[in-house]
């Protein structure tokens, strides 16, 4: 069976539902992933989905493919990504699959595939699965695997067990008023009850799952989504506001003053808290994070480790370095101090509540003394998969020539990285191509308005040189930050 090779990305599989993916293709992917597991003597997998319209059909197809090569499947139903990770521990299996396209528009879908407890596929693993499909080298079992679909009662019990697990890891000493925007993703089913369990008053928006995403793509890196949260925080005088992506493993925050916190600031906040308890620890962050992040880590006595973007790569680096924590600008946070080390937006939310209660400070007060930067959000511009790598490579050559005195971070510094970052004494600029979609991302910052605007003009001018950039694209995010 011919499947678009571009959907086999650097750590996930992701494409357009009904075009790159259909039930037969998904079943084939299930057979290949099942073969991948059987090669590793794994015979069981948990499977869940988010609320995308194609999710239920794809879940059944993936289960058919897995069971056809002898994998016993536990069908969790509609869950958050972190609940699939939790299910690996609860049901004691290395295998696991979440059917989701995370923060991408509704027409996309895809798969996060486990390689072990809390660990997911990296580049070589994804390409192995692709090679199994292209070579038709599927495992031939003695008998089919069994598919067990959790009953409604069992699903409720599982959700309760997950909630109890995250709640037992925190001690929240204060009651808060919290704005929650679920973006019509799957989090609205689970997060409100968890917040109520710790005494929060919830002001909820878009909590009913709807795979059409009628209020726009649930992406907490998007100014559009975070602006909704900002307005609600100010209207209802909330302690803070939180937004989730479609599958719940990423968050975005707005403080009590209505200021949007891009997640590199939240990485710094979490790092400071962890370093108070685990001094001299290593903290991993991705190359899109502000200079603020590494400075706060250093000022707090830690060692910053910059690494390549992608939840699978950050998790692997945390394990390799023995780091206490890791985080990304996208809103993935990985706590290795008192949790499993995988990205869990619900647990990250609870850690914010706990830190606010412990310090008796507001959210804005937690970062009031941090170094000051004027920093753009992550900006995304459409670019075809077959063009984006070439565009970034060509752009990077000129980029490095334009700033010969800057400290450059590229593939020569972080092996396998997907872009080029230039650091100055007062900020940075980065260009990179996305690992999981047909688009390019950029971010820039400075410590004064004039320099910030100069860098903004430079970034826009550079990108406008390339006719392959798709400025009116549904994947484009935060383009107004270039105006």
Report the catalytic residues. 102
C-alpha gyration radius of the chain: 22
Give Cβ neighbours of residue 34 (< 8 Å, ≥ 6 apart): 45, 65, 66, 67, 68, 69, 70, 71, 138, 139, 145
Angle CA 126–130–131, to nearest 5: 115
Q: Are 293 and 264 in contact (CB under 8 A)?
A: yes
Distance CA 452, CA 456 (A): 6
- 385, 386, 391, 397 alpha-carbon torsion, rounded to 10°: 120
Q: CB atoms < 10 A from the CB of 41, how many?
A: 7
Both tokens of 419, joined, read: 């872009």
Terminal Cα distance for the chain, rounded: 45
Instruction: List residues bridging with 44 in a β-sheet.
Output: 72
CB 325 within 8 A of CB 297: no
53: which DSSP letter?
A: T
Quote the tokens at residue 475. Answer: 């994947």
d(CA 172, CA 357): 6
For residue 118, give the nearest of 319, 346, 330 by alpha carbon.
319
Whole-angstrom distance, CA of residue 46 vs CA of residue 455 = 46
Rounded (5°) CA angle 226-443-332 = 55
- Strand 147-149 and strand 72-78: pairing? parallel
Mapping DSSP to helix (H, G, I), strand (E, B) and coil, where does residue 167 land?
A: helix
Token code pair at residue 217: 């793509």
């Amino acid at each position: 069976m011919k499947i678009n090779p571009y959907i086999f990305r650097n750590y996930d599989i992701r494409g357009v539902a009904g075009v790159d993916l259909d039930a037969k293709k998904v079943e084939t992917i299930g057979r290949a992933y099942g073969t991948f597991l059987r090669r590793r003597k794994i015979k069981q997998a948990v499977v869940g989905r988010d609320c995308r319209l194609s999710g239920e059909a794809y879940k059944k197809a993936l289960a058919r493919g897995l069971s056809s090569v002898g994998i016993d499947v536990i069908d969790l139903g509609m869950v958050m990504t972190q609940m699939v990770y939790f299910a690996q521990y609860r049901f004691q299996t290395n295998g696991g699959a979440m059917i989701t396209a995370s923060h991408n528009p509704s027409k996309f879908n895809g798969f996060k595939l486990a390689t072990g407890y809390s660990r997911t596929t990296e580049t070589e693993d994804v390409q192995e699965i692709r090679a199994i499909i292209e070579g038709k080298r599927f495992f031939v079992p003695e008998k089919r695997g069994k598919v067990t679909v959790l009953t409604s009662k069992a699903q409720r019990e599982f959700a309760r067990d997950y909630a109890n697990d995250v709640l037992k890891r925190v001690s929240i000493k204060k009651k808060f008023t919290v704005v929650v925007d679920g973006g019509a993703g799957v989090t609205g089913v689970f997060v409100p009850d968890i917040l109520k369990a710790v005494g929060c008053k919830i002001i909820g928006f878009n909590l009913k799952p709807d795979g059409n995403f009628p209020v726009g793509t649930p992406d907490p890196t998007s100014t559009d989504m975070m602006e909704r949260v900002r307005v609600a925080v100010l209207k209802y005088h909330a302690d803070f506001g939180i937004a989730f992506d479609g599958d719940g493993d990423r968050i975005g925050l707005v403080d009590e003053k209505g200021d949007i916190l891009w997640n590199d600031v939240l990485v710094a906040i979490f790092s400071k808290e962890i370093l108070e308890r685990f001094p001299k620890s290593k903290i991993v962050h991705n190359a899109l994070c502000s200079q603020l992040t590494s400075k706060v880590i250093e000022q707090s006595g830690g060692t910053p480790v910059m690494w390549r973007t992608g939840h699978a790569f950050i998790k692997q680096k945390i394990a390799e370095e023995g780091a206490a924590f890791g985080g990304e600008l996208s809103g993935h946070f990985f706590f290795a101090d008192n949790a499993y080390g995988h990205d869990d937006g619900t647990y990250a939310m609870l850690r914010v509540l706990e830190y606010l209660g412990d310090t008796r400070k507001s959210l804005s007060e937690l970062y009031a003394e941090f170094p000051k930067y004027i920093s753009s959000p992550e900006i995304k511009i459409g670019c075809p998969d077959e063009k984006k790598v070439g565009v970034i490579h060509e752009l990077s050559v000129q980029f490095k020539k334009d700033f010969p005195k800057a400290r450059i971070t590229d593939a020569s510094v972080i092996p396998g990285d997907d872009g080029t970052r230039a650091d100055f004494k007062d900020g940075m600029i980065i260009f990179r191509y996305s690992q999981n979609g047909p688009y390019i991302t950029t971010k820039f910052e400075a410590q004064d308005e004039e320099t910030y605007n100069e860098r903004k003009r430079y970034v826009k001018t550079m990108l406008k040189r390339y006719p392959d950039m798709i400025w009116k694209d549904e994947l484009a995010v935060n383009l107004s930050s270039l105006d």
